[in-house]
Amino acid sequence: MADGHITYTTENLTDAVLARIAPDAPERTRIVMASLIRHVHAFVKDVELTPTEWEQGVAFLTELGRWCDDKRQEVILLSDVLGVSMLVDAIAHRTHASVSETTVLGPFHRENPPRMENGQHLSPGVAGEPLEVRVVVADEDGKPLEGAQVDVWHTSPEGFYDSQIGDGEEHAMRGRFVTGADGVVAFPTVMPASYPVPHDGPVGRVLSAMGRGPMRPTHVHFWIKKPGYRELITHIFKDGDPFLHEDAVFGVKASLVTDWDAAKQAGGAARLHYEFRLPKADS
Amino acid sequence: MADGHITYTTENLTDAVLARIAPDAPERTRIVMASLIRHVHAFVKDVELTPTEWEQGVAFLTELGRWCDDKRQEVILLSDVLGVSMLVDAIAHRTHASVSETTVLGPFHRENPPRMENGQHLSPGVAGEPLEVRVVVADEDGKPLEGAQVDVWHTSPEGFYDSQIGDGEEHAMRGRFVTGADGVVAFPTVMPASYPVPHDGPVGRVLSAMGRGPMRPTHVHFWIKKPGYRELITHIFKDGDPFLHEDAVFGVKASLVTDWDAAKQAGGAARLHYEFRLPKADS
């Protein structure tokens, strides 16, 4: 047996892997990969991960990618249920407290939703309790922003997004509006519902293993873009929903929870009213 | 806007996610998931992962699973190049220093390799320098073990495994032997070569980003199973290989590097001789 060759142990292997990162690799790559390697190794050592558990982890990560297609994004779902998506969101937006708060994109946004006009029904032919939505898009000072693109999407009253109904091809309860001079987007729709995140795949097994439920509280998604302004990805949640305190993806923020039922006291329809405030893109 | 709803921040989100693990979840699940959540969150916070980088990470993990099939395991490859596989190996085997050392399985083992008899050529029809392999499988005291199953596989002299040649269906440079009463498995084959790990996929991009090469030093794989004994997954490396100190998967251990050329001084063929010692399964 030959001498002079290093033998890697639990004590020296992490440093050996770190030492392989080239000094001339881009600085950000060095920082991110070094931290990733340190934390993955620390995790393996902390729990003394067994070969069998490692095999389960490999099988899990392999399966994760295989569940993804143009209507299902299991990797994002994993990030969501582990609170990672909201952590990235919190880091990105913590210096912008004066403007509307953000939350997770989630896996149900679709490219090129149907183009809608103000006042057009978002969910024609869908039976359910009426909901009147009226939002204003404004800058940080409350000045209305004209020409902002507003993607809106929510579940059916039964708790399903369009992509989860039938063959999933049809667009429903989903549309793209553009604000007028008053910054307003307003439309009738039907009341969405609380619903489980998709839990028939590998992420569902992770939730079950932790003894966690898959439910998300009732909400409507908004993705607002206006050139020159920071884009806003968020939801507005319905106050009183029983799952507000156990959102499977940790997406609830106090400022995003509003009373949709107030107008019903006066005999009107449920209403979701909100004013979104977007900072300048360079702020 | 309603009150009484928690807003998650970079300061309180990790604890909120940990608090969701049910008290009655299995203890090992609680330990592993809590550590995983802590370390993933710590990584995101340490590097202040940006939404764009998070998107790149999601795309990377999605692609990782999609590259996997019955001849390619990109998740294991990632684990290998980050040193995670060897770390798991080091943890699992650190209490068994008196027996043969282990190393990574790698992605090229195949189920049901061709059954071979002692003395049968492992690589018929493959042009290359002859290599005589003779290994003994013994217990911890050196007593030969009869009836041990020995899977052997290595690259061609050009550095390709059979699954990387042509349509990848044919088995070559690969076989399953069984030891006789003397514990010996011996056969002629051709000299394998150093070779790059598959680097045309997402893991290759990670290596490039870190300024790392993909090469592995010349070796022959062994996977030895004998009922009642701990199974042994390892390689034997060729001393003098220029990549011994920069193995892309950190698999080299001093005790696994041997001199294959010694016999050539006396005019003979290159030889790989080794005695494997397996501990009892319950030790």
Quick: pLDDT tens for B138-178. Answer: 999 999 999 999 999 999 999 999 988 888 888 999 999 99
Same domain, B32 and B156: no
Same domain, B27 and B150: no
Using the Cβ of A233 and the Cβ atoms of chain B, whether some distance falls under 8 Å is answered with: no
User: For residue A2, what pLDDT is reported?
Assistant: 41
Please report, rounded to a whole number, the percentage of residues in chain A having pLDDT higher than 90: 82
* Domain encompassing residue B29: 13-49
- In a domain, residue A129? The reply is yes
Using the Cβ of B155 and the Cβ atoms of chain A, whether some distance falls under 8 Å is answered with: no
Distance in Å, alpha carbon of A61 to nearest chain B alpha carbon: 7
Using the Cβ of B195 and the Cβ atoms of chain A, whether some distance falls under 8 Å is answered with: no
Distance in Å, alpha carbon of B257 to nearest chain A alpha carbon: 6
Q: Strands B270-278, B130-139: parallel, antiparallel or unpaired by DSSP?
A: parallel
Using the Cβ of B275 and the Cβ atoms of chain A, whether some distance falls under 8 Å is answered with: no
The H-or-E segment that residue B187 falls in is strand B184-190
| CA-based nearest residue to B75, from A138, A55, A257 | A55
Give buried/exposed letters for A67-78 (b at 16+ CB in 10 A, else e): bbeebbbbbbbb
Please report, rounded to a whole number, the percentage of residues in chain A having pLDDT higher than 70: 96
Same domain, B130 and B210: yes
First to last CA, chain A: 64
Residue A91 to residue B35, Cβ atoms within 8 A: no
Over the Cα atoms of chain B, what is R_g? 23
What letter does residue A114 receive in the DSSP assignment?
P
Which of A17, A35, A92 is closest, CB to CB, to B82?
A17
Same domain, B96 and B163: yes
Contacts of B239 in chain A (CB under 8 A): 2
User: For residue A4, what pLDDT is reported?
Assistant: 55
Q: Which residue has the tokens 């202040």?
A: B48
Using the Cβ of B244 and the Cβ atoms of chain A, whether some distance falls under 8 Å is answered with: yes
User: For residue A283, what pLDDT is reported?
Assistant: 65
Query: What is the rounded average pLDDT for all residues in chain A?
Result: 93
- In a domain, residue B22? The reply is yes
Mean pLDDT for B123-141 is: 96
| ipTM given for this complex | 0.88
- In a domain, residue A191? The reply is yes
Same domain, B125 and B34: no
Confidence band, pLDDT 50/70/90 cuts, at residue A1? very low
- In a domain, residue A26? The reply is no
Residue B83 to residue A16, Cβ atoms within 8 A: yes
- In a domain, residue A19? The reply is no
- In a domain, residue A31? The reply is no
Same domain, B144 and B44: no
At residue B44, the 3 state secondary structure works out as: helix
Same domain, B89 and B38: no
What pTM did the predictor assign?
Answer: 0.88
At residue B126, the 3 state secondary structure works out as: coil
CATH number of B88's domain: 2.60.130.10
| Contacting residues for A267 by C-beta, under 8 A, at least 6 apart | none
Residue type, A259: D
Least confident stretch, B45-54, B146-155, B262-271: B262-271
Same domain, B86 and B177: yes
Same domain, B40 and B87: no
**Does residue B54 contact residue A245 with C-beta atoms inside 8 Å?**
no
- In a domain, residue A52? The reply is no
**What DSSP string runs through B141-160?**
TS-B-TT-EEEEE---TTS-
Distance in Å, alpha carbon of B251 to nearest chain A alpha carbon: 8
Mean pLDDT for B5-18 is: 88
Same domain, B164 and B123: yes
User: For residue B264, what pLDDT is reported?
Assistant: 83
Nearest residue in B to A46, CA atom: B35
pLDDT of A111 > 90? The answer is: no
pLDDT of A256 > 50? The answer is: yes
Same domain, B140 and B193: yes
How many structural domains is chain A composed of?
1
Confidence band, pLDDT 50/70/90 cuts, at residue B265? confident
Mean pLDDT for A228-236 is: 95
| CA-based nearest residue to B221, from B79, B122, B81 | B122
**Mutation for B interface: A9, A18, A33, A47, most B CBs within 10 A:** A47
pLDDT of B3 > 60? The answer is: no
Tokens of A196: 């489980």
> Per-residue pLDDT tens for B16-39?
999 999 999 999 999 999 999 999
pLDDT of B97 > 90? The answer is: no
- In a domain, residue A23? The reply is no
> Per-residue pLDDT tens for A130-179?
999 999 999 999 999 999 999 999 999 999 999 888 888 889 999 999 99
Nearest residue in B to A103, CA atom: B8
User: For residue A116, what pLDDT is reported?
Assistant: 97
**Mutation for B interface: A31, A82, A84, most B CBs within 10 A:** A84
pLDDT of B283 > 70? The answer is: no
Angle at CA B20, nearest 5°, toward B15 and B24? Answer: 125
Contacts of A76 in chain B (CB under 8 A): 58
Same domain, B132 and B36: no
Residue B90 to residue A257, Cβ atoms within 8 A: no
